[in-house]
């Protein structure tokens, strides 16, 4: 598994790679991880080290920023860092499984004669020629010719890949997963507790959620959990908004920073409603975690979210950047405990059936066999 960023950094991709690596090793599929040695994204150290995390060997490769500019696909074509020496490690492995749409590791390993998979976790809108304006012409070329095979976590991403005339035979659908033995239903929920979990960035739409609070009849307690270093300016803006809202005295808003999974579980279990007001979202592993704890979800109908949230079955879908409609959906669930309970149970059933870590790890092993068999 090769990923630009890894635990203890916390995010959707980091969680996916960590969980899959542990699960595969339990199934006797020897799996190690390679990543850049950085304390936060794109802040690398020019020294490497090897660690043992969760029983998984993690090779932390030194990296160097190749341009002193803000990272964007248009400016640096997805080549965020120049890695130190790393390709000699690949000789011990049968498959190289790249994660994210960062081409730093894939480009510098282009001469390595091993089957290569790129696992798309989202982050780019490929449709309608958007990539030509925002990401330049190099990104689609690298995407098409560097890997031998593709894994998409949503059916929407598969449709986007067709824009590049990539054969469907080279693409596998593999959604994100959740450890259903860790994320379990609670004995009792806390009334009027709203929960958001995710990176503190503009694209997650947390400011829209804060704006929606003024339309709610019920006083609520909103708990926000996630790393703040991805967008420091936005985090500082939210701090001011939270302080302003708390001064009004109607709602209570708490930001708790980032958390380990074992600590995060209890908040999913306590929450009445999980809210994800994103502007874009490839899949949303946090939705799986909420469902696994029988917590109904209110989320925006963007990206791969409608593939998980079935409107008025296990949650409610709303348009992005619509605070009033977001508030109406939240208020409806606050007013209807029986609906919340029913949706939460439906969410848990869908997780067990389609998105459990055990099911997805077995499907990934099938993909590996197909790749090795050509």
Long-range Cβ pairs for the range 24-31 (8 Å, 24+): 24/361, 24/364, 24/365, 25/55, 25/56, 27/361, 27/362, 27/365, 29/365, 29/368, 31/1, 31/56
Span 68-99, pLDDT tens digits: 655 555 556 678 889 999 999 999 999 999 99
Domains of the chain, start order: 12-177+356-372 (3.40.50.2000), 193-355 (3.40.50.2000)
Residues 6+ apart with CB under 8 A from 300: 205, 276, 277, 278, 279, 281, 317, 318, 319, 320
- Give, for 318, the enclosing helix (H) or strand (E): strand 315-318
Beta bridge pairs of residue 275: 298
pTM of the model: 0.84
pLDDT (average), residues 109-117: 94
Q: How far are the Cα atoms of 14, 31, 116, 148 from residue 113, in angstroms, in the given order?
A: 26, 19, 9, 11
In the predicted structure, residue 129 carries a pLDDT above the cut 60: no
Span 189-216, pLDDT tens digits: 999 999 999 999 999 999 999 999 999 9
Q: Report d(CA 105, CA 125) in Å as an integer.
A: 22
Report pLDDT for 128. 41
Q: Report d(CA 290, CA 203) in Å as an integer.
A: 20
Helices (H) and strands (E) in the chain, counts: 13, 15
Side-chain-side CA neighbours of 355 within 13 Å: the count stands at 26
């Amino acid at each position: 598994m090769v990923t630009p960023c890894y635990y203890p950094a916390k995010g959707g991709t980091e969680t996916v790679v960590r969980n899959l690596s542990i699960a595969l090793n339990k199934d006797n599929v020897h799996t190690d991880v390679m990543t850049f040695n950085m304390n936060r994204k794109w802040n690398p150290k020019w020294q490497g080290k090897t660690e043992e995390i969760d029983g998984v060997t993690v090779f932390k490769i030194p990296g160097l920023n190749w341009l002193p500019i803000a990272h964007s696909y248009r400016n640096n074509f997805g080549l965020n860092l120049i890695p130190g020496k790393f390709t000699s490690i690949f000789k011990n492995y049968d498959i190289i499984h790249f994660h994210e749409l960062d081409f730093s590791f894939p480009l510098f390993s282009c001469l390595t004669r091993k089957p290569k998979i790129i696992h798309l976790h989202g982050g780019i809108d490929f449709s309608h020629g958007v990539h030509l304006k925002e990401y330049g012409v190099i990104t689609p070329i690298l995407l098409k010719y560097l890997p031998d095979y593709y894994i998409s976590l949503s059916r929407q991403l598969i449709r986007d890949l067709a824009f590049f005339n990539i054969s469907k035979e080279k693409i596998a659908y593999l959604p994100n997963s959740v450890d259903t033995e860790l994320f379990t239903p609670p004995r009792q929920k806390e009334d009027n507790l709203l929960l958001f979990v995710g990176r503190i960035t503009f694209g997650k739409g947390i400011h829209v959620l804060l704006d929606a609070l003024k339309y709610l009849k019920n006083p609520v307690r909103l708990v926000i959990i996630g790393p703040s270093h991805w967008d420091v300016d936005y985090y500082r803006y939210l701090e001011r908004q939270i302080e302003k809202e708390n001064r009004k005295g109607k709602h209570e808003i708490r930001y708790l920073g980032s958390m380990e999974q074992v600590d995060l579980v209890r908040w999913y279990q306590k929450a009445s409603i999980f809210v994800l007001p994103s502007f874009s979202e490839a899949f949303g592993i946090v939705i799986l975690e909420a469902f696994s704890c029988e917590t109904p979800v209110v989320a925006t109908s963007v990206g791969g979210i409608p593939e998980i949230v079935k409107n008025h079955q296990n949650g409610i879908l709303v348009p992005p950047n619509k605070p009033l409609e977001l508030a109406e959906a939240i208020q409806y669930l606050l007013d209807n405990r029986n609906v919340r309970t029913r949706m939460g149970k439906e969410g848990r059933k869908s997780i067990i059936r389609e998105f459990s870590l055990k099911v997805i790890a077995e499907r990934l092993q099938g993909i590996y066999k197909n790749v090795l068999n050509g």
